[in-house]
Amino acid sequence: MTTAQQLDDRYGRTRRRKAPWIVLITVAVLLVGAFGWSIVTEQMNSVDSDDLGFDLVDEHTVDVRFQITGVQGKDVVCVVEALDEEFGVVGWKVVEIPASDSHSQALSTTVPTVAEATTGLVNSCWVA
């Protein structure tokens, strides 16, 4: 009389192990969770900036108006640039904005230039 084990050995049948699958699924869930959390934290610390306008004061000064949106209760830093007619940077300024309870803030800053500018804009903003 043959036993089930002898038949399994004869025909190459083996028992499937569940442990490697459980480990693989656990690692996959952890990776997806870590990736999702990194996206959430990045979005919580993102700052959007919109250019509202600029005024050419003289050939060495530009006033730039802009709005930042997105972060409450954290300091923000923005780089504001003045460009000439060929889009070359003729002046820039780092603007440090203190924390606020407001979701959106309209701001203005004066940017000194080395030549006459034709526009002023916000290059980028980030949470300090």
Domain boundaries, the chain: 4-44, 48-127
Sheet with 104-112: list strands edge to edge: 48-58, 61-69, 104-112
Residue 28: per-residue pLDDT = 95
Residues 26-77: tens digit of each pLDDT: 999 999 999 999 988 888 778 899 999 999 999 999 999 999 998 888 899 9
User: Which is it for the CA torsion 100, 65, 81, 57, positive or negative?
Assistant: negative
Residue 10: per-residue pLDDT = 81
Using DSSP, state whether 124 is helix, strand or coil. strand
Residues 67-126: tens digit of each pLDDT: 999 888 889 999 999 999 999 999 999 999 998 888 889 999 999 999 999 999 999 999
Q: 48-127: which CATH architecture? A: Sandwich (2.60)
Residue 41: per-residue pLDDT = 83
Residue 8: per-residue pLDDT = 79
